[in-house]
Every structure is written in C-alpha cells, then in structure tokens.
Amino acid sequence: MEKQPGMVSFVGAGPGDPELLTLKGKRLIEEAALLLYAGSMIPPALLDLASPRASVIDAAPLDLEECHSLMLQFARAGQPVVHLHTGDPAVYSALREQLALLDRDGIPWQVVPGITAASTAAAALGAPLQNGFSLVSLSDLLVPADEVRRNLRAVAQSALPVTLYNPAGRKRRQLLAEALDIFREARGGDILCAFVRHAGRPEETRWIGRLADLPADDVDMSTLVLIGSARTVTDQGALFEARGYAEKYLDKDAPASAADGR
C-alpha cells in the first residue's frame, strides 16, 4: 500500500512571540519532521518548539526549487513539514509558486494564518482600524510601481485609514515619499498618522502625530505606517477611530481629533 504523503503547512508566526502563535500553528511546529523558517526574522523561541528529532533548516538562503525539493523529500516519506513565515503567510507573501509546485507533485498543503503586521501595529496604537481599513504594500518587487501609485491615489480618496506595508528600504524610498505626498494632498497635513517599528517585538517603538510631521527618515522595512482618516482621533497617547460610541454612551468630553490640533 502506497504511503500517504505528509502535509506541508505554511504557518504564520505573527510578530514572533510564542504567546501570539495560534494553537494550531504551535502544534504543527511541535509535530513537524522538517521545519523550514524565514531566516533571522524568526526568533529562536519559536524554533525551540520543534521536536529534537526534527530537521530545522533556514530557508532564507534557498531558492524556490531547493526549498521545494526539501519539502518533497519529507512529504513523500509521509512526514509532516512546516514552513514558518513571519506575520501571516496569506498576506503579502510569495506562496503561489510553492503551492503550484506542491499541487503538481500531489502533495497536500494548508495555510495557517498568523497575526499580520496591521493587526499587531493597530493593537500597539489603540484601535485605529475599527471602522475598516485599506492595506497597501509599497514594494515594487512583484507589483509595478505605477500600479502601486494607482492604488495609493484610489485609497487616498476613500474614507478609510490605510496601512502601508514594506514602506521603505535603505535604497528604496521614492514610493514612500510619493505616498506621503498623495495623502497630504488628499487628506491634508493635519490628518493623524502613526508608525510602529518592530510591532509586537521587545524592541517595538511607535510614533503618533500629524501627517505633516511624520519623520519619514525613521521609516524602514521593519516599520508599518498608518495614515488615519477624518474619523481618526487621539487620546492619552492612543490612536483610534471614532464610531459614535463616545457620544452615545460616554460623556461629552470627547478626545481630540486631528482638526482640534490637541
């Protein structure tokens, strides 16, 4: 009787804190015969969850075919495989090619979500996304820069806060400058905004202020930028979107908005 292939699971590590890993993700890591992980962005505490008998391999130096070959070797032997990603592997990842290769070779797979950066950063700031939001990546590695610009202009005209993923690298900063110009023109320089660097990690830092004052030079690839809407307000160092509850249930001493300048 032919052995059933092992499952390949793409598990989201979220911000990297084992306490913020899903229970299913933790169980799959513990049971994996092969644990591939996304380089230095995965903390050792997560790798320590693996069985002492597991093969734990850094996938960062591997190309697509090398990574697939390793997964195939274990899965065809009926052994479970986990590929551990930062954040949520279903949001701004490059899974399509890996999934297509697994389908081609008849290997079952599943994607296990993690806490994505937008949720982690929003929690660090307060509740700035509670009326909905838009998410745009500024990376032009897989999406043409002109398409990114069109997305930015469309979102800027909406009433939604926006979170900017992959905002800038050491050499790739032009789209961040253009994005800030687009939102300043559409929403004004007084609109509230924020950024969180290393969201959910011990070295987490954050900044909240007006869009006109955002220190763009401090933004890097470990940073998520959030640009608020007309509903975005700040109170006692927190950022959130007003939904009418303050007026309905609380007293009338409402927190400051961007228009207040407080």
Which ranges constitute the DSSP H helices of the chain? 23-31, 44-47, 64-76, 96-104, 117-125, 145-156, 174-187, 245-249
Query: pLDDT per position in the chain (262 positions), as tens?
Result: 678 999 999 999 999 999 999 999 999 999 999 999 988 889 999 999 999 999 999 999 999 999 999 999 999 999 999 999 999 999 988 899 999 999 999 999 999 999 999 999 999 999 999 889 999 999 988 889 999 999 999 999 999 999 999 998 777 889 999 999 999 999 999 999 999 999 999 999 999 999 999 999 999 989 999 999 999 999 888 999 886 555 555 555 555 544 443 3
Q: Cα(262)–Cα(259) distance, rounded to whole angstroms?
A: 8
Query: Inter-axis angle of helices 174-187 and 145-156, to 10 degrees?
Result: 20
**CA-based nearest residue to 32, from 100, 106, 98, 112:** 112
Tell me the pTM: 0.86
Neighbours of 170 (CB within 10 A): 7
